[in-house]
Amino acid sequence: MPELPEVETIRRDLAPLLVGRTIVATRIHASAERLAVTHTPRALERTLTGRRIEALERHGKYLVARLDDGRSWVLHLRMTGSLVHAPQSEAADRFERARVDFDDGSSLRLRDMRKFATWHLVRDAREAMPHTGPDALSGAWSAAWLRAALARRSVAVKAALLDQAVCAGVGNIYADEACWLARIDPRTPACELGPRRVTRLHAALRETLAASLEHRGSSFSDYRDGLGAAGWHHVHVHVFRRDGAPCERCGTPIAKVRVAGRGTHFCPRCQRR
C-alpha cells in the first residue's frame, strides 16, 4: 500500500500537471464498483466534469484535489491503486478503473488491480478521512503530541504507529523502519515508552519518511509514481522484508513476527523493550 512518501511523491509529480486544468470528461468504468463513495458513479462523473483543479494537497495517505466550486475531490489508493498521467489517446490497460480528461489533451488514469481505491467528493476534506490525526510530516505532529498519544495507548508501539489517528500517513514499512532506527522493540506497549524514547521514535519516523521521499518512495509491489515509474527506497530499508538478513548494526539475523496482524521486522538484539 502506498504510504506517506509514496503518496507525497505522486502529489509532487501530479501537482504541476493538474493544477489549473479543467476536467472535460470523467469516466468511472463498470469494473470500479466501490470507487465512488459519496455519489453514484454517474453522479460523480457529472459533478467532477467542468471543474477546475485549484490545488493538489495531501493528508496522510489521502490526496486532496481542491476544486473551483469549493469542494474537495479526495482520493485514496488503498492496496494497489496508482495514478498515471497519460495522453488521452493512450489505450486503457486491463486494470484501469477510471479516467479523467483535462482541457490540455492529457488524462489521469486510475489503475487498481484489487479495486479498494476510493474517491470522495465533499465540501470539507475531513469528512472523507474520519479517525485521521495530524499528518506525520506536519508541524502539528510534534514529539509532544506523539508522547501524549502514545501515553494513552496500551497496544504495541507498532500498532500505535499504524493507527492513522496517531501517525497519519505511516504504514507497515515506515513503522518497522522507525522502530529499528529508534532501537525500540515494536512489541513494546506504547504507554511504556519513556519520553526520551518517544522523542527518539518521533525523530526516527521523520528520518525514514524523509529518506524515502528522497528516493521517490518504496516499490516493494505495485507502487508507481505519478509518471508511472517505480521508487527505489526499497533497496535502502534496514529491516522491512529483510528477515534472516544480518542487522546492519549488530549482525543478528532480522526476525519477523506478527504484531497487530501485520508482518513486523526487527532486530531481536538491538531493539529493546
Q: Which is nearer to Zn ion, 79 or 270 (CB)?
A: 270
Is 6 catalytic? The answer is no
Residue of 12, 256, 262, 269 marked active site: 262
Q: Which is nearer to Zn ion, 69 or 248 (CB)?
A: 248
Q: Which is nearer to Zn ion, 148 or 250 (CB)?
A: 250
Give kind and range of the element (H or E) at residue 31. Answer: none
Give kind and range of the element (H or E) at residue 205. Answer: helix 195-214
Of 77, 125, 75, 96, nearest to 28 (Cα)? Answer: 96
Residue of 2, 5, 41, 134 marked active site: 2
What is the Cα–Cα distance from 240 to 256, expressed in whole angstroms? Answer: 9
Q: Which is nearer to Zn ion, 78 or 183 (CB)?
A: 183
The single-letter code of the amino acid at 271 is Q
- Contact by Cβ (8 Å): 179, 110: no
Beta carbon of residue 212, minimum distance to Zn ion (angstroms, whole number): 21
Calculate helix-pair angle for 4-18, 195-214, nearest 10 degrees: 40
Beta carbon of residue 108, minimum distance to Zn ion (angstroms, whole number): 43
Is 11 catalytic? The answer is no
Is 158 catalytic? The answer is no
Residues 6+ apart with CB under 8 A from 2: 10, 61, 77, 81, 82, 217, 223
Is 256 catalytic? The answer is no
Beta carbon of residue 183, minimum distance to Zn ion (angstroms, whole number): 8
Beta carbon of residue 253, minimum distance to Zn ion (angstroms, whole number): 9
Q: Which is nearer to Zn ion, 50 or 268 (CB)?
A: 268
Q: How far apart are the first and last CA of the chain?
A: 28
Give kind and range of the element (H or E) at residue 176. Answer: helix 172-181
What is the contact surface with Zn ion in residues (CB under 5 A)?
A: 247, 249-250, 252, 267, 269-270
Beta carbon of residue 258, minimum distance to Zn ion (angstroms, whole number): 20
Residue of 11, 51, 61, 147 marked active site: 61
What is the Cα–Cα distance from 81 to 112, expressed in whole angstroms? Answer: 4
Give the residue numbers marked as catalytic: 2-3, 61, 262
